[in-house]
Chain A
Amino acid sequence: MKKFFRENGVLLLIAAVLLSVLITLCGNLFGTKIDPLGNILNTLATPVRGGINAVAGWVEGVYDYIFRYEQMDDELTQLRRRVAQMEDELRQARYESQENKRLRQLLELREKRRDFVFESARISARGSRGWDDTLTLSKGSNCGIAAGDCVISETGVLVGVVSQVGLNWATVDTVLSPNTELGGQTVRTGLAGILSGELDLLQEGLLKLGYLPLDHGLIKGDQVITSGRSGAYPADLVVGTVTETGTDEAGLSGYALIRPAVRLDKLSQVFVIKEFDIVE
């Protein structure tokens, strides 16, 4: 046995142990920032990733055009109907917003003011591996993106949170990822809970709003937004809608399953919120 290992790469085994320890130490040392070797590898791979992304996007487009024309046509009709409906809702919302403003002024309440500083970025790779759900962005620390920044879609819906940042790339844990955990609350009832991804919900494209009171009274279709109570993430970002409710195994608290308001697999461009202020 000893001879076998002497002849067959005991030095390699030692090197592997040392490298494992070194990388683990680097991981702990650099925290959410990636280690230098990983940064170099990912930076060098950026053009390849971009190229593959462009080709794959084009192939997807051609495939969609050839094989899903009818489906796309139906989708377009539905979207037109939806746009008309949303325009109607927008008109209603504008009216209510103005009314709200008047009421606030009337009550001399100070308005909440949020100043978001955005950075737009393209999605250059997707990392749905069954264990987690990540997106790789085309911009990184050179554009001021930092770990912990919230990422939203063009409609202002929460996509995820930046988990790792390299020079010209960043990795985002989507809202579905089991690594994601942030405060959320429902619009209708104002109940707050913890939004988190779970392994078994990942494949169904759902996340969980946990730690709710047993008599939460949530119903299917209730909208969920970020609470921003910790101050770490902005408040009032739309996350999704309730699809199902239940009670946890211990029977001490309730939960709701949330379907994200954004189709994560269809995103091509996102916006990173680099700075935000909440003035209460």
Chain B
Amino acid sequence: MARQDWIHKWLCYAGALLPVWWLDAYILTRFPVFGITPLLLPVAVTAVAVLEGVSGGAGFGLATGLLWATAYAGGAGGRVLLLTLVGMFVGALARYALARSLTGCMICSAGALTALLTVRGVADLFFMRASLWQLLRVAVPQLIWSLVWTPLVYGVFYRVYQRVGGDKLV
């Protein structure tokens, strides 16, 4: 793939990330359900990793992690590494074990969100900021609520994939 095509493709993915980011950061936070809002950025990384594979997923994870760590309140640097790893492992799973489909994305999203929330929970437990029960009361609804939004996020990125994804621009 020519460099120009490669840049075009990833600009399209970045463009698709913008409405997901705004939805996640500025719209859904106004309408929390039982005090919970979904985590759409990890779902976005999972969707792109399922569609684009290991390298694409890792790269997109890195960029999205950078956004997550810098543009959100209380952003931690570890988010960059976590989302890169999510992109990489989901890409590998999609390539070797799962189908490139919404079902695959849902399974991977559930796994990725569980991993991220577990990391967060373990950190909170370690620093004794909350009890396990308190963490589960937040993490489980957040996981479910994020999965409800997964089809929409996957749909956005699948549309991009259909137009410019994979090697279509070659």
Contacts and interface: CB of A to CB of B under 8 A. Distances in A.
Contacts, number: 145
A198 B138 CA distance: 12
B71 A200 contact: no
A38 B71 contact: yes
Contacts of A214: none
A48 B22 contact: yes
Interface string B27-71: 101101011110000000000000001110011011001110111
A118 B92 CA distance: 54
A16 B70 contact: no
A20 B75 CA distance: 11
Interface string A31-72: 000110110011001001100110010001000000000000
B29 A17 contact: no
- Chain A binding surface SS class: helix
A16 B81 contact: yes
A23 B69 contact: yes
Contacts of B72: 127
Given A12-B58, A23-B75, A130 B32 contact: yes
Interface string A168-210: 0001000000110000000000000000001110110000000
Given A13-B58, A130-B36, A38 B26 contact: no
A128 B32 contact: yes
Contacts of A130: 32, 35-37, 138, 141-142
A131 B135 CA distance: 9
Contact of A20 (B81, B88, B138): B81
A52 B22 contact: yes
Given A16-B81, A19-B77, A20-B80, A42 B71 contact: yes
Given A16-B80, A48-B26, A131 B138 contact: yes
A199 B135 contact: yes
A12 B59 contact: yes
A269 interface: no
A22 interface: yes
Given A127-B29, A200-B130, A200-B134, A16 B65 contact: yes
Given A9-B55, A48-B26, A203 B62 contact: no
A8 B88 contact: yes
Nearest to A37: B70
Contacts of B74: 132, 134, 163, 179
B73 interface: yes
A125 interface: yes
B137 A52 contact: no
Nearest to B142: A130
Nearest to B53: A8
A142 interface: no
Contact of A9 (B30, B34, B59, B77): B59
B130 A199 contact: yes
A59 to B, nearest CB: 10
Interface of B: 22, 25-27, 29-30, 32, 34-37, 53-55, 58-59, 61-62, 65-67, 69-81, 83-85, 88, 91-92, 120, 124, 129-130, 134-135, 137-138, 141-142
Task: Across the A-B interface, give the 8 residue pairs with the lowest CB-CB distance, nearest first.
Answer: A23-B77, A24-B77, A16-B84, A203-B35, A38-B70, A8-B54, A9-B58, A20-B77
Given A8-B55, A53-B26, A130-B142, 4 more contacts: A13-B58, A163-B73, A164-B73, A203-B138
14 contacts: A9-B55, A12-B59, A16-B58, A20-B69, A27-B77, A41-B67, A45-B71, A48-B22, A56-B26, A56-B27, A126-B30, A128-B35, A129-B142, A164-B73
Interface of A: 4, 8-9, 12-13, 15-17, 19-27, 34-35, 37-38, 41-42, 45, 48-49, 52-53, 56, 60, 125-132, 134, 136, 163-164, 171, 178-179, 198-200, 202-203
